Structure 1
Amino acid sequence: MTHHQLAAETKPPLTPVRQLALRFSSTRRGARLARQLAVQQFTEWTGLPYDSDPARAVALVTAELASNAVRHGSLPGRDFRLTLLLLPDHFRVEVTDTRPERLPPPVPPQPADETSGRGLLIVQAYAGRWGRTVRDAYTKTVWAEVPLSTSGS
């Protein structure tokens, strides 16, 4: 996380125009359903088409965050929560899991020839901002904000 991202997280959040939160099973199927729901809600709330660049960015970001929650943040029998917020200039995706001690690195690693480990690089590339928050001893939230327009964040 850059200094800009850390500083921005301390500001009071904007009031969402729309908000939705649902729990999903910590399985591959749950991650897939979370991605599908995020894109559906994004297109419904914004009126942008499924094949728009922002909708594709929402799909990629949600897929990576949900996949990481399933792979690295789950405990047996515990779900993850997907929260979607439509704000005036961006769409925020939050994924909350049950492993607060397993924080993603503030800056994604730059893997050389590995075949995995590039998920946070994808999030960083498609999100205007992203970060992580631990509010209690039982959960952590990894969030990303996708700009509503492709003209920057």
Structure 2
Amino acid sequence: MSRARRIVAESLPGALRPHLGDDLRLLTSELVTNAIRHGTCPADDSLIELVLWPADGHYWLAVSDSGTGKPALAHPGTDAEGGRGLLLVDNLAAAWTVRARPSRGTSVIAGIPLRQRA
């Protein structure tokens, strides 16, 4: 997990790290955690793919796994110990979506705007 966060932060141009680094590290943490918990099977030697790219005024992060499930927002009770990851993604990202991969698996894609929030 920490390796994924570090790689994403280090991939950003230096001038964008202060503005986008924390948000992208948090998105990375949540999406990779979900991929590990829900999208991979240890018996398969499943891999998680992480892609980061700038486009359309955003930095986009895609986290893909071999799972067939479709992640969805949950609304856990106040006593629940988990289930809030995608709520955090939903609040942090300007846009996000879930896509089936052409051959096998699922990708969650989230975008952080290059401009600062007001």
Same fold (TM over 0.5): yes
Alignment match, 2:32 = 66
Question: Does 1:112 find its partner at 2:77?
Answer: yes
Could you list the per-position Cα deviations for residues 8-40 of structure 1 after superposition, in whole angstroms to 9, with x for gaps in the alignment?
Answer: xxxxxxxxxxxxxxxxxxxxxxx3211111111
Q: What are the equivalent positions in structure 2 for 1:1-153 lying under 5 Å apart?
A: 31-42=1-12, 45=13, 47-50=15-18, 52=19, 54-76=20-42, 77-100=45-68, 102-105=69-72, 108-113=73-78, 114-151=80-117
Distance 1:137 1:48, change over 3 A: closer
Distance 1:117 1:48, change over 3 A: same
Question: Whole-Å Cα distance in 1 between the matches of residues 14 and 114 of structure 2?
Answer: 8
Residues 48 and 64, structure 2, Cα contact 8 Å, conserved in 1: yes
Secondary structure of the residue aligned to 1:48 is helix
Q: TM-score, normalised by structure 2?
A: 0.88
Q: Percent identity?
A: 29
Question: Whole-Å Cα distance in 1 between the matches of residues 51 and 17 of structure 2?
Answer: 21
Question: Whole-Å Cα distance in 2 between the matches of residues 148 and 63 of structure 1?
Answer: 20
Q: How many residues of Structure 1 are paired with residues of Structure 2 in the alignment?
A: 115
Could you list the per-position Cα deviations for residues 89-126 of structure 1 after superposition, in whole angstroms to 9, with x for gaps in the alignment?
Answer: 110000110002x1101xx1121211211000110111
Deviation for aligned residue 1:88: 4.3
Query: Where does the alignment leave 5 or more consecutive residues of structure 2 unmatched?
Result: none
Question: Whole-Å Cα distance in 1 between the matches of residues 17 and 2 of structure 2?
Answer: 20
RMSD over aligned CA atoms reads 1.6
Q: TM-score, normalised by structure 1?
A: 0.69
| Amino acid aligned to 1:135 | R
